[in-house]
Structure 1
Amino acid sequence: MQPYIVSLISNQREMLMDLWKKELGIIRQENYLHSISDTVYENTNQQFMHFIIEMVDVDEKEAKMKLSSFAEEYIQSGWPLSYFTQGLQAFRRVNLALLSETESNIADVLSSFSELESWIDGIINHLVNDYTGTWEDIFEMQKLSLLELSAPLIPVLEGVTVMPLIGTIDTARAKLVMENLLEGVIEHRSQVVLIDITGVPVVDTMVAHHIIQASEAVRLVGARCILVGIRPEIAQTIVNLGIDLSKFPTRSTLRKGIETALELTNKKLIDL
């Protein structure tokens, strides 16, 4: 950063802060920050303005570290990225106005503003990258958490477990179903596993293929698999697609599936 720009920002700090604060007030109205209390907004605003102004005289390596720390803090607080990017654009406009007032030579104004603009663009790019990376990490963590919850294996009776499936089954989820089934069968010493597809909206060739593969894998580890929750529309789709489930026992409801599982494990329910 040119010493002239650093000196200008330092000497005109109070005026710069006043002008910039007015611009930020307008930006607040344009963003979804109405629910934030005035006290929290004012404190954050002051921290943001002081942080950026202090960054003017910081070397590049230290600046990047501070920017990353700043971005992480406010991402976790839920502040929108647009507020900071628009705030930096407002900072650019205010500085251009000050440069125009204090410097009469147009060429010098343009030269100084060009350097200031590059510096601000660098900060914006860094914030965008940090925000994007952090949200991608959060998204991946949430995706993994949802996957872990999307194929639970529930022991309901001795030797009988149920895996309820809800939602679309893609390749990644089918792999998780297979892993959970095999691990659960061994852990719970299951003799019969009921795969309940009541909550699966569409059963196409790919979904059926994954289910058949899971059934075969379960058979290889010494258990039997029953597909339950076959709704009329699902049955019609399976027939129309020519999917062969002849080697795979099916039942229309979970209750009927449990009754079959009890028969296979030499058990029965008795009304008292």
Structure 2
Amino acid sequence: MDSQFKKIVLENSDTIVRMWVEEVNALKDANYTSSISEELFDSTNREFVNVIFTRIKNVEPAETLEDFAEKLINLGWPLSYITDGLQVFRRVTVDFILSQSEKVDSNHISLVLQSVDKWVEPLIRQLVNEYSGNWENVVSLQRLALQELSAPLIPVMENITIMPLIGTIDTERAKFIMENLLEGVIRHNSEVVLMDITGVPVVDTMVAHHIIQAAEAVRLIGAKCILVGIRPEIAQTIVNLGIDLSQFPTKSSLRKGFTTALEITNRKIVDLDTKVDNLENMINSLHRE
């Protein structure tokens, strides 16, 4: 920035900031920040102004652009807050410098615009790039977390695991289900896998095909897959579509599926109260003898 203009801006920073805050407040509805509390909005505006003025002062900022952009993402603020805020700052700064000029002609206006742009444009690019880079990183981490949650394999008992499926199953998710299922079966040494589709809203030909593929893959590595959560409407859809699920057991509920899994692994549910009563009767009988 031209040294003369820089001096004007620094000497009148309070006035410029006040003008900027007034215009930024007026844009709250336009850039989707109207739901943010006044206290948080004011404190963030102060931080924004500090970040901007560190550039014109050429001093080491207490808070870097990277920190500020990351903070906005964590708070869920839109990118338009940054772009609108910097555009407003440019306009307010230009207007104020021109208002302090004794002579205003086209050459002077052009000089002011060029000078302010040399200061603000790099700031816009860097802040937008930092925001975008941080946002892509957050989205990537969220995508990985969602993938892990989309097809969890839960060991509930030795050799028995459950995979609860919730939501729509598309081709990409089906691939992840298959990979997680096979890896989990080997890792947990599973003999039986209960695939629970209670939370799957629609089972069409494609979804059924993916499920059959997963069950067949489990069979090939030496385990058995039981499909549970077959609601009446899903059973009717499967029949109407002519889908063959005869290769592996199906149960209407997780409880019934778990009972079947116990039978397959040579275990069963025992009523402890009945067992205790029988044991007491046996002891009493021995005492009588």
Shorter chain as normaliser: what TM range?
0.7 to 0.9
After superposition, the C-alpha distances for 1:42-83 in whole angstroms (9 at most, x for unaligned) are 444333223312313549xx99x9433332234334444433
Counterparts of residues 95-106 of structure 1 (less than 5 Å): 95-101=93-99, 102=101, 103-106=103-106
Corresponding residue for 2:139?
A: 139
Give the Cα–Cα distance (whole angstroms) in 2 for the partners of residues 34 and 13 of structure 1.
Answer: 26
- What TM-score does the superposition give when structure 1 sets the normalisation length? 0.83
Report SS of the residue matched to 1:203.
coil
Give the Cα–Cα distance (whole angstroms) in 2 for the partners of residues 53 and 140 of structure 1.
Answer: 33
Corresponding residue for 2:71?
A: 73
Corresponding residue for 1:82?
A: 80
Paired amino acid for 2:137: D
Report SS of the residue matched to 2:186.
helix
C-alpha spacing 1:33/1:153, structure 2 compared with 1 (3 Å):
closer
Give the Cα–Cα distance (whole angstroms) in 2 for the partners of residues 90 and 146 of structure 1.
Answer: 38
Give the Cα–Cα distance (whole angstroms) in 1 for the partners of residues 45 and 256 of structure 2.
Answer: 63
Give the Cα–Cα distance (whole angstroms) in 1 for the partners of residues 156 and 16 of structure 2.
Answer: 68
Corresponding residue for 1:250?
A: 250
- Percentage of matched positions with identical amino acids: 53
Structure 2 unaligned residues grouped into runs of 5+: 275-289
Give the Cα–Cα distance (whole angstroms) in 2 for the partners of residues 51 and 176 of structure 1.
Answer: 43
C-alpha spacing 1:149/1:93, structure 2 compared with 1 (3 Å):
same
After superposition, the C-alpha distances for 1:108-148 in whole angstroms (9 at most, x for unaligned) are 21332144246434423332332232222212212211221
C-alpha spacing 1:91/1:197, structure 2 compared with 1 (3 Å):
same
Kept in 2: contact 1:68–1:130 (CA 8 A)? yes
Counterparts of residues 39-118 of structure 1 (less than 5 Å): 41-56=41-56, 58=58, 66-101=64-99, 102=101, 103-117=103-117
Give the Cα–Cα distance (whole angstroms) in 1 for the partners of residues 236 and 41 of structure 2.
Answer: 58
- CA-based RMSD of the aligned residues comes to 2.9
- What TM-score does the superposition give when structure 2 sets the normalisation length? 0.79
Corresponding residue for 2:37?
A: 35
Count of residue pairs the alignment pairs up: 267
Kept in 2: contact 1:99–1:109 (CA 8 A)? no
Corresponding residue for 2:170?
A: 170
C-alpha spacing 1:182/1:6, structure 2 compared with 1 (3 Å):
same
